[in-house]
Structure 1
Amino acid sequence: MTRPILAGVLVGLFAVSAQAAQIYSCVDGNGRRLTSDRPIRECLAREQRLLNADGSVKQVVPPTMTVDELAEAEAKKRQAELERAAKQDAVRRDRNLLARFPDEAAHSKAREAALDDVRKGVKFSEDRLVELQKERKPLLDELEFYKGKKLPLKLRQQLDANDAATTAQRSLVQNQKEEIKRIDSLYDSELARLRKLWAGAPAGSLPLAASPTPASGTKSAGN
């Protein structure tokens, strides 16, 4: 190897070595100055200085977080991620709402469609109650005949079945009427939000209203 080439190689090696020779330095809790070629364990909770080979400061390394500090930072990070996801979800929900209901007429049509099935259910149950009353009349007439006497088992069973069916239908009517109120409340809340969005409120900027609780034994308007 010629001398110029050898000199160039040596200069290159010296530059790499000088660049790689970094030293960590810190003062520990007892006031001692410590140095190492890697982060100093005794100073993980303290500031450390990363020095170049010539002793100049290349970088100041902040203290490593304690377990509690790390847990708090992670909790804040998760909370920020949840809030960001919630914001994105709210924007997407509002955009979908605007796509489904470009105007109030479309929303009114959807409300009527949602209410129609429940109203039909109420009508069916009320008609069934009328039928049950008709079926009960001859049973009551027969019951008069046995006043003061032991009722035949069949008549007792028929009366009990009529009572049970009537109670069930009345409960169903009550639930269906509650469901109508719930659907109306849901669409009222939705319409109030849509009016603000139609007026120019940015998607995702409005607070969410609590959804009305479905009546037991009934389907929600969205099903």
Structure 2
Amino acid sequence: MSNVPLAEYTSSRSRSRALGLSLLLGVTCVASAQTQGQSPTQSIYTCVDGNGRRITSDRPIKECLDREQRELGSSGTVRRVIPPSYTAEERARMAAERKAEQMEIARINEERRRERALLIRYPNKDVHDRERADALSQVDDVMGAVRKREETLAEQRKQIDAEMEFYQGDREKAPPWLRRKLEDNEEQVFVQKRFLDEQTKEKERINARFDEELGKLRQLWATGSTSGSATLSR
């Protein structure tokens, strides 16, 4: 040991201890102040919505106002259970409204899909007119074939009537083969007439469809496009 007086050595050690204690107290105070200044641990809210989805948020979840929510701590423990905000009757009414809204949105989206398909298929009136004419022409071809068949049946009927004159037009006196021939002719005439009536109605349906399409297309051609898909309101 160096030749330092004992009293001076003791005094120096006391000052060192005092300084160390002061520094320790200062660090402790600063740490305590920092801890007190920090915000408390934030809560976590979780629930399962009406579609079965589990939702987690840092605040109460509006999609689950009609059902139970859980507030969790940072460790995952349940702090509290938040009860639903609506009665069963209110929940049923809201569910019905939600379903109606979804159905309406689906209808609107389907209508817009059809409108887009119409624009792609008929970019202008000339294309639409040509397709109408083609559709009507196909029916006219069928009707033309039916009329030719009617003419053939009419000629056959003349021959049958000529043969029936031998029996004074009395079917009962005519032989079975001639009666069958007459009945078959009458049945074929009836079938062709009914088919011709159906084709006439088909032309009316075609014109009605193209007229309806044309009304929509005039609006779509004027705007040039259709709007986007509808979505659920929030």
- Tell me, in whole angstroms, the C-alpha distance in 1 between the residues paired with 2:116 and 2:42: 55
- Matched-pair contact (CA < 8 Å) for 1:92–1:204: no
1:78 aligns with 2:99: yes
Q: Which residue of 203, 206, 211 corresponds with 2:226?
A: 203
- 1:199 and 1:93 map into 2 onto residues whose CA distance is 17
Given that residues 87 and 204 in structure 1 are in contact (C-alpha distance below 8 angstroms), is that contact kept between their aligned partners in structure 2?
A: no
Residue 201 of structure 1, CA deviation? 7.0
Match of 2:25 in 1: none
CA deviation after TM superposition for structure 1 residue 73, in Å? 1.5
1:156 & 1:111 partners in 2: Cα distance?
45
- What residue is the counterpart of 1:97 in the other structure? 118
Structure with the higher fraction of residues in helix conformation: 2
Label 1:192 to 1:64 Cα distance change in 2 as closer, same or farther (>3 A): closer
- Give the Cα–Cα distance (whole angstroms) in 1 for the partners of residues 166 and 136 of structure 2: 46
- Where structure 2 has 5 or more consecutive residues not aligned to the other structure, the ranges are 1-27, 44-65, 72-79, 229-234
For normalisation by structure 2, the TM-score amounts to 0.59
Rg comparison, structure with higher value: 2
Structural RMSD (CA): 3.3
Quote the Cα distance in structure 1 between the aligned partners of 2:148 and 2:42. 92
The Cα shift of 1:204 comes to: 6.4
Choose the corresponding residue for 2:160, options 139, 162, 171.
139
Instruction: Return 5+ residue gaps in structure 1 as ranges.
Output: 21-44, 51-57, 206-223
Q: CA deviation at 1:130?
A: 0.3
Distance in structure 2 (CA, Å) of the matches to 1:69 and 1:194 = 43
Query: Once superposed, which parts of structure 1, at least 4 consecutive aligned residues long, lie more than 4 Å away?
Result: 58-62
**Equivalent of residue 126 in structure 1, options 144, 147, 156:** 147
Q: Distance in 2 between matches of 1:96 and 1:152?
A: 62
Displacement of 1:69 in angstroms is 2.6
CA distance in 2, matches of 1:156, 1:80: 67
**CA distance in 1: counterparts of 2:84 and 2:188, whole angstroms:** 76
Deviations 1:51-110 (A, max 9, x none): xxxxxxx998553422x3322211111111111111111111111100111111110111
TM-score (structure 1 length as normaliser): 0.62
